C-alpha cells in the first residue's frame, strides 16, 4: 500500500486502538500517529507530527528502539520484545515494525506497532512464583497427591512419587494410575472403583513398584480443569505419621537462615503465652540502615550479619527466651515472668550494646545500631497480633527519636500510628494521581537583591484537609519508602520547569533540589539522575543538589563515591542547614562541595545575640576560603538582609524577599522583574 493510500486508512484502522501505532519517516520522526500517542503526551495528533520518540516518550525509550528502526529501514520486518529499564519498574514492549516502499521501491517510511507487555510479564512471573509456592506446599504434605485425567497421571507431588515406588516425577507423569496399584486381594486395581473411593471405604491398596509394600488409602475428589473432568487423588499411608507432622510443623515455624522462629512461629508462641495469662515483655528490634550492607556488599554478606546477630542474641539471652527473626532486618524477643519492672529496659540496653559491637565484614569491620520498641503483657494488647503491631509502632518511634535506643509503647503512639498510616495511604494516592506540587522560593543576590536562583520545595494539597505541612508528610514518605518515588517526581518536574524558564531567559542562577538521606543512600540514584538528565536535555550547570550534614556523614566511603558521581554529571553540591549537624569540619575539605547554606537558627537571633554575628561572619569567611559560595536562609527583616550583605554573603533567601510560590507565580514574578530591569 502506498503512503498516500495509508494516509486515508491509517486513522480509520488505528485511532480506536489502545496500542501505539505510528508511521515513522527516515529521520525517525512521526509522519502520522494514532490517538494513543495523544493520550500519553497530552497533545493533539497534529502537533505530534514531526516530533519523535524522544519528545513524547523520552530519550531512553528512543535509544532502545533506534536499532530496530534502522533495521526496518534496511528492509527487515521485525517482531521483538524490548525492555525499557530507565525506571524502577521496567517497562516491557512488544514491537512490530515493517518497511513501507514507495513507487520507486525506496523505503522512506516504516510502520510501527507497540504493545506494553509489562503487566503480562508481571502476571507470568506471579504465576511462576505461585506455581513454585504450590509445589513447595505440595512437597510438605505427608500425603501423596496426584491429578488424574482419563486414568492418566498429569501431575503429582514428590510424596506421591515416593509412595508409588517410582524413581522420579518425570517417569511417573503419563502413566496409567490403576496399573500402579494392587488391591487388598493382590488383584489389579480398577479405575472405575477409584472414582468412588473415600476415607470411609477404608480400602487398602498397595503400590506395585514400592518394595516396602506400604498400605495406602485412596481418596478421590472430582475436579474440573480447563473444562474437563479430572480426579484429585490423595494417597494416605496407614503408618504413624506423627514424626512427619512434627517435622513439617518445625519447618513452617522456623526461619531457615537463622534457625530462629519465623513470624508465624513467633506469633504462635506469643499467643500461647498470652492465652495462659503469662506475664511477659516483648522487644521488637530493627537493625538501623541495614539496607546499606545489602546494597554495597551484597545479600550474602547481609545474610552472614543476620546469622551472627541471631547467634549473639542466643548467647546473651536466657534459655527460656523466645527469639524470632520476623523478616529482613527485624528480630523480636519475648521473656516471661520478669523479675522486676525494669527488666525489659535492662535487657534492651544489653541488646543495643551487643549490636553496637563491630561485625567483621569482607576485610573490614562495621559498627551497627538498632532501634527497639517494647510492649508488656498484661497491658499493651490482648493477642499476639496487637502486641507485635504495638511493639512495631514503638520501634518506629525509636527511629524517629534518633535511632539506637529503646522506646516503650504508649496508647498515644497508637493514635499517632493510625494518623501516620492514613497519611501514608493518602500520600500514595497523591503520587499515583500526580497531585503533588512543586513550589519555588527565589534566592536573591546579596549585593543587589535581584533574583538569582531558587530552591524547589514540594507541596501537597489534600482534597479534604487542604495543604499538609512537609514536616508531616516528608517523614512519612521516608519511613514508608515513598520518598524515592516522591523525589523522582519532584526532580522530573523541576528539570522540566527550569529548562523552560531558562529557554525563555527569565531565570538566572541555580535551582536547588533537596535530596533526602534515603535517596542518597541508594546507589541507583545516579542512574536515575543521569537518565533523566539525558531525556530532559537540561544543562546541569543550572542545578544544585542540597544535602544535610547528617546525610553526608552517615557513611564516609559511600558519601565520597556518591558526591563524586553527582559532580561528574555536572551538578553543584550544597550543604543545607550548615552548623546544626555534624561537629567536625574536616568533611568540608574532603568532599567536593560548592556551597554552604547557613541555617535560619543562626539568623533569627542576630538582633538579640551579638555574638551570633561573629559566628555568621566566620562561616562566610570559611566558605569563601574553601572557594565555596554561601547562602543565608530565613531572612525576615530588612536589617538582617543588610547585615548579611555587609558581611559579603553571596545569596540571601527568606520571607523578607519572597515566599515559596507555584511555578506560574514564579514565572510571572521573573517576567515582571525582567521588564523592570530593562526599563
What does the pLDDT look like over 457-498, one tens digit per residue?
999 998 888 888 888 888 888 877 888 899 999 999 999 999
Query: Which pLDDT tens digit goes with each residue over 90-109?
Result: 677 788 898 988 878 888 89
Residue 88 pLDDT class (50, 70, 90 cuts): very low
Give the separation between CA 368 and CA 359, rounded to whole angstroms: 8
Q: What percent of the chain lies above the pLDDT cut of 90? A: 31
Residue indicated by cell numbers 556488599: 297
Q: Is 141-240 the same fold as 3-121?
A: yes
Whether the per-residue pLDDT at 241 is higher than 60: the answer is no
Do the bridges between strand 572-578 and strand 543-548 make them parallel or antiparallel, or are there none, so unpaired? parallel
> pLDDT of 301-321, one tens digit each?
888 899 999 999 999 999 889
- The three three-digit cell numbers of residue 213, written as one number: 509394600
pLDDT tens-digit map of 606-642: 877 778 888 889 889 988 988 999 999 999 999 999 9
DSSP string, 297-342: H-HHHHHHHHHHHHHHHHHHS-TT-EEEEEETTEEEEEEES-SSTT
- pLDDT bucket at 330, cuts 50 / 70 / 90: very high
Cis ω before 378 (30° cut-off from 0)? yes
Region of residue 485 (left: phi > 0; alpha: psi -120 to 50; beta: else) = alpha
The pTM score is 0.49
pLDDT tens per residue, range 528-571: 999 999 999 999 999 999 988 777 765 567 788 889 999 999 99
Rg, C-alpha atoms of the chain: 33
SS3 label, residue 568? helix
Spans of all domains in the chain: 3-121, 141-240, 253-409, 439-677
Please name which of 571, 574, 626, 578 lies closest in space to residue 595, comparing C-alpha atoms: 574
Q: Is the pLDDT of residue 249 over 80?
A: no
Superfamily the domain 439-677 falls into = EAL domain (3.20.20.450)
Q: What is the mean pLDDT of the chain?
A: 83
What digits encode the pLDDT tens for the residues 398-430?
887 888 899 998 877 767 777 777 888 888 888
Give CATH superfamily name and number for 253-409: Reverse transcriptase/Diguanylate cyclase domain (3.30.70.270)
What CATH number matches the domain at 3-121, 3.30.450.20, 3.40.50.300, 3.30.420.10, 3.30.1600.10? 3.30.450.20
| Cβ neighbour number for residue 655 with a 10 Å cutoff | 12
Q: Residue 89 pLDDT > 50, yes or no?
A: no
pLDDT tens sequence across 579-589: 665 545 667 77
Confidence of residue 200 (pLDDT cuts 50, 70, 90): very low
How do 78-84 and 91-101 pair as beta strands? antiparallel
More confident residue, 569 or 521: 569
C-alpha 468/C-alpha 471 separation (Å) is 8
CA atoms within 13 A on the CB side of 449: 13
Average of per-residue pLDDT across 651-666: 94
CATH topology of domain 141-240: Beta-Lactamase (3.30.450)
H or E stretch including 511?
Answer: strand 511-514
Instruction: Output the pLDDT for position 121.
Output: 61
Give Cβ neighbours of residue 3 (< 8 Å, ≥ 6 apart): 23, 31, 100, 102, 108, 109
Amino acid at each position: 500500500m502506498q503512503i498516500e493510500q495509508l494516509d486515508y486508512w491509517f486513522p480509520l484502522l488505528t485511532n480506536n486502538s489502545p496500542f501505539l501505532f505510528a508511521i515513522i519517516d527516515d529521520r525517525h520522526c512521526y509522519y502520522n500517529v494514532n490517538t494513543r500517542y495523544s493520550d500519553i503526551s497530552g497533545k493533539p495528533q497534529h502537533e505530534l507530527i514531526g516530533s519523535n520518540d524522544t519528545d513524547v516518550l523520552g530519550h531512553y525509550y528512543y535509544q532502545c528502539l533506534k536499532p530496530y528502526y534502522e533495521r526496518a529501514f534496511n528492509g527487515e520486518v521485525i517482531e521483538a520484545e524490548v525492555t525499557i529499564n530507565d525506571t524502577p519498574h521496567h517497562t516491557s514492549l512488544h514491537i512490530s515494525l515493517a518497511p513501507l516502499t514507495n513507487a520507486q521501491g525506496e523505503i522512506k517510511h516504516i510502520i510501527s506497532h507497540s504493545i506494553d507487555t509489562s503487566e503480562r510479564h508481571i502476571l507470568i512471573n506471579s504465576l511462576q512464583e505461585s506455581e513454585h509456592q504450590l509445589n513447595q506446599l505440595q512437597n510438605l504434605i505427608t500425603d501423596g497427591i496426584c491429578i488424574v485425567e482419563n486414568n492418566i497421571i498429569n501431575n503429582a507431588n514428590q510424596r506421591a512419587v515416593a509412595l508409588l515406588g517410582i524413581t522420579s516425577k518425570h517417569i511417573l507423569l503419563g502413566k496409567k494410575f490403576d496399573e500402579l496399584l494392587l488391591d487388598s486381594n493382590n488383584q489389579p486395581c480398577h479405575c472405575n472403583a477409584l472414582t468412588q473411593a473415600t476415607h470411609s471405604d477404608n480400602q487398602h491398596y498397595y503400590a506395585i513398584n514400592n518394595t516396602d509394600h506400604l498400605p495406602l488409602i485412596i481418596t478421590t475428589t472430582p475436579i474440573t480443569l480447563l473444562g474437563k473432568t479430572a480426579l484429585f487423588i490423595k494417597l494416605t499411608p496407614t503408618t504413624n505419621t506423627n514424626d512427619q507432622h512434627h517435622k513439617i510443623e518445625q519447618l513452617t515455624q522456623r526461619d531457615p537462615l537463622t534457625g530462629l522462629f519465623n513470624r508465624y512461629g513467633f506469633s504462635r508462641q506469643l499467643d500461647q503465652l498470652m492465652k495462659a495469662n503469662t506475664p511477659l515483655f516483648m522487644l521488637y528490634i530493627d537493625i538501623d540502615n541495614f539496607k546499606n550492607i545489602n546494597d554495597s556488599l551484597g545479600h550474602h554478606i547481609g545474610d552472614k550479619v543476620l546469622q551472627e546477630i541471631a547467634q549473639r542474641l542466643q548467647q546473651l539471652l536466657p534459655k527460656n527466651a523466645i527469639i524470632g527473626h520476623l523478616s529482613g532486618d527485624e528480630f523480636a524477643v519475648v521473656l516471661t515472668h520478669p523479675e522486676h519492672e525494669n527488666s525489659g529496659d535492662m535487657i534492651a540496653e544489653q541488646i543495643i550494646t551487643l549490636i553496637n559491637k563491630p561485625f567483621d565484614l569482607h576485610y573490614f569491620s562495621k559498627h551497627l545500631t538498632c532501634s527497639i520498641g517494647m510492649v508488656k503483657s498484661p497491658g499493651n494488647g490482648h493477642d499476639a497480633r496487637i502486641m507485635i503491631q504495638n511493639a512495631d509502632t514503638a520501634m518506629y518511634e525509636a527511629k524517629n527519636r534518633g535511632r539506637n535506643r529503646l522506646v516503650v509503647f504508649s496508647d498515644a503512639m497508637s493514635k499517632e500510628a493510625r494518623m501516620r498510616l492514613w497519611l501514608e495511604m493518602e500520600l500514595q494516592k497523591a503520587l499515583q494521581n500526580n497531585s503533588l506540587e512543586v513550589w519555588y522560593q527565589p534566592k536573591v543576590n546579596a549585593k543587589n537583591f535581584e533574583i538569582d536562583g531558587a530552591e524547589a520545595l514540594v507541596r501537597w494539597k489534600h482534597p479534604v484537609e487542604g495543604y499538609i505541612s512537609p514536616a508531616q508528610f516528608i517523614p512519612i514518605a521516608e519511613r514508608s519508602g515513598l520518598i524515592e518515588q516522591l523525589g523522582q517526581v519532584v526532580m522530573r518536574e523541576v528539570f522540566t520547569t527550569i529548562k523552560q524558564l531558562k529557554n525563555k531567559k527569565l531565570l538566572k542562577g541555580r535551582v536547588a533540589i533537596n535530596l533526602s538521606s534515603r535517596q542518597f543512600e541508594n546507589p541507583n540514584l545516579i542512574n536515575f539522575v543521569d537518565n533523566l538528565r539525558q531525556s530532559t536535555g537540561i544543562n546541569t550547570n543550572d542545578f544544585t543538589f542540597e544535602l544535610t550534614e547528617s546525610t553526608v556523614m552517615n557513611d564516609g566511603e559511600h558519601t565520597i563515591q556518591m558526591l563524586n558521581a553527582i559532580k561528574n554529571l555536572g551538578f553543584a553540591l550544597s550543604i543545607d542547614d550548615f552548623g546544626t549537624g555534624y561537629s567536625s569540619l574536616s568533611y568540608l575539605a574532603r568532599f567536593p562541595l560548592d556551597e554552604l547554606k547557613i541555617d535560619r537558627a543562626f539568623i533569627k537571633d542576630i538582633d538579640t545575640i551579638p555574638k551570633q554575628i561573629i559566628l555568621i561572619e566566620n562561616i562566610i569567611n570559611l566558605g569563601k576560603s574553601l572557594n565555596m559560595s554561601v547562602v543565608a536562609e530565613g531572612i525576615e527583616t530588612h536589617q538582617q538582609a543588610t547585615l548579611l550583605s555587609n558581611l559579603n554573603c553571596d545569596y540571601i533567601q527568606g520571607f523578607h524577599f519572597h515566599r515559596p510560590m507555584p511555578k506560574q507565580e514564579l514565572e510571572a514574578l521573573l517576567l515582571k522583574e525582567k521588564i523592570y530591569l530593562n526599563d
